[in-house]
Structure 1
Amino acid sequence: MDNVKIGEILLPGEQSEQEARARKVRRRFWPTLKRAMRQVPFSRDLVAAYYCAMDPTTPMRTRGILLGALAYFVMPIDFLPDMLAMVGFSDDIAVLTAAFAAISGQIKEDHYVRADAALQSTPDE
């Protein structure tokens, strides 16, 4: 991750950039999550972060940080390609961990309730 710093990935960005990231995340989140479930140790937090990022009541800065991290998560080609067994999602985990630290406390209970329901039904949105 030397070429791309986590801080750059997590920049909230302008409204238009956030909208583009949101479209990409909506399209690719669930298929990527299904591939990552065994390798990402905090799937519930990840799904709650998705719902937080898509929630229009979430502050713009928080949405931007989460959308940056989630966009990195759904990209098939990143610093460590996700297809590499056992290590493919380790860079994604680092970015997501940094995002969770940056938005500490912004993911609401409602987002976790929705995450729990989604993980029970494994949606194909």
Structure 2
Amino acid sequence: MKNNEENLEKEMEAASENYSDEKFWDKLKKFGKKAGSSVVYAVLLLYFTLQKPEIPVRAKAIIIGALGYFILPFDLIPDFAVGVGYTDDLGALGVALFQVAMYIDEDIKNKAKEKLKDWFGDQVDTTDIDEKLG
């Protein structure tokens, strides 16, 4: 498992070169529904956390790496692989969420949930991720 985490961290670091706001929103608009509400919620939490000016540089680097990994069309498990394509993305996002959880406040969660409602409606359940964040 440790080796998989190390590989994922290396992939995230390399992927950070691919991050931009434009690429982020393009990918999310194009594949958000396919990725599912959990992946989209994790992505939005990271994105809105990145927007906070007081976030330390190391935390921003972690977030950019995870979002860059999400943007990449070809990663450990290609996104077009039916049923499992976003599994590695969720793993990368989960690692990043865990590392920056202390910066995710209720305001960020509310912004992410509002955006989720736009795409998935009012019935989206974010409890699983919210409970893990604390």
TM-score normalised according to structure 1 size: 0.72
Identity percentage of aligned residues: 26
In structure 1, how many angstroms separate the alpha carbons of the residues matched to 2:60 and 2:46?
Answer: 9
Q: How does 1:1-125 map to 2 (within 5 A)?
A: 5-10=7-12, 24-34=19-29, 35-40=31-36, 41-122=38-119
Query: Between Structure 1 and Structure 2, how many residues are aligned?
Result: 114
Q: TM-score, normalised by structure 2?
A: 0.68
Q: Could you say what secondary structure the match of 2:84 adopts?
A: coil
Stretch deviating more after TM superposition (38-47 or 57-66) = 38-47
Shift of 1:10: 4.8
Gaps of 5+ in 2: 120-134
Instruction: Judge conservation of contact 1:79–1:91 (CA < 8 Å) in 2.
Output: yes
Greater share of residues in helix: 2
Cα deviation, 1:42-96, whole Å, max 9, x if unaligned, reads: 4323212111113322211111101100000011111111111111111111111
1:44 and 1:115 in contact (8 A); partners too: yes
**Structure 1 contact 10–66 (Cα < 8 Å) conserved:** no
Question: Is there any run of 5+ residues in structure 1 with no aligned partner, and where?
Answer: none
